[in-house]
Amino acid sequence: MEVLKIVLIILLILICVALTVIILFQEGKQNGLGSLSGQQFDSYWSRNKGRSREGLLVKLTTAFVVLFFIISAVLNIGSF
């Protein structure tokens, strides 16, 4: 049981480092001056955002956050 706890802690540390790097790679969500007037631009990039590098980073962030919470909960439950 102790070996599993050590493996989960190491995995949690690796996920934290990866999550930090992924978040730092993401761009800001500012829309510029167009957001002040309520204009919405429907460009090729905005329609295919999920297939771009930014979309991949968002999906990876979501996956790593879910893993972070699951492993944290398992480690917390196992500490009692």
Encode pLDDT of 35-66 as tens digits: 555 555 566 555 666 678 888 999 999 999 99
**Cβ neighbour number for residue 64 with a 10 Å cutoff:** 19
Asked whether residue 31 is domain-assigned, the answer is no
Asked whether residue 35 is domain-assigned, the answer is no
Supply φ then ψ for residue 8, to 5 degrees.
-65, -35
**Local structure of residue 27 (DSSP, 8 states):** P
Supply φ then ψ for residue 46, to 5 degrees.
-70, -30
Q: CA-CA distance, 53 to 73, in Å (whole number)?
A: 30
Asked whether residue 69 is domain-assigned, the answer is yes
Structural domain count, the chain: 1
CB-CB contact of 20 with 61 (8 Å) = no
Q: What is the span of the domain harbouring residue 77?
A: 1-25+50-80
**What percentage of the chain reaches a pLDDT higher than 90?**
55
* pLDDT value of position 69: 97
Q: Which two tokens stand for residue 70?
A: 């699951």
Q: Which residue has the higher pLDDT, 79 or 13?
A: 13
* pLDDT value of position 79: 75
Asked whether residue 68 is domain-assigned, the answer is yes
